[in-house]
Structure 1
């Protein structure tokens, strides 16, 4: 598992709203039985509006999605199978959104 890998949402109840989860957990914490994730939601479901600095727009698999930082969560590692890709190229935006959520800056 690599930081910023994107996984299909394994939760049947929420995957229609949040189709993917981004693994943001450091590789230094790979021994934990859970992974810290942020859901990706359809940009169109949010009126094509972002919360400046907190929910950056990302493009994944040709789709416009929002990184829903306020909904950060953890899931059991065993539920995350077969990454669909990576958002490593959005690393700065992801870290900035986390920083904004924690510090407000």
Structure 2
């Protein structure tokens, strides 16, 4: 498992609006049974609710998605099967969104 890998959302109830989860946890913590993730939500489902810096827009598989940083959570790593891609090229935006959520800057 690598930081910024993207996985299909295993939750049947939420995957219609949140099709993917981004693993943001450092690979140094691979021994933990859980992974810290941020859901990616379909841009169209959130209208004008995007917040500058906090919920950056990313393009993934030709879909416009929002990184829903306020919904950061953890999931058992056994539920994250095979990564379908990576958002490592959005590293600066992801770290910036986390900084804004935690420090306000």
Aligned length: 105
TM-score w.r.t. length of structure 2 = 0.98
User: Within 5 Å, which residues of 2 pair with 1:5-44?
Assistant: 5-44=5-44
Shift of 1:24: 0.1
Q: What do the CA deviations read for 1:8-34 (whole angstroms, capped 9, x no partner)?
A: 000001001100000000011000000
Superposed CA RMSD in Å reads: 0.8
| Regions of 4+ moved over 6 Å | none
User: Within 5 Å, which residues of 2 pair with 1:4-83?
Assistant: 4-47=4-47, 49-83=49-83
| Aligned equivalents of 2:45, 2:3: Cα separation in 1 | 26
5+ long unaligned stretches in structure 1: none
Contact 1:43–1:49 (Cα < 8 Å) also in 2:
no
Contact 1:21–1:39 (Cα < 8 Å) also in 2:
yes
TM-score w.r.t. length of structure 1 = 0.98
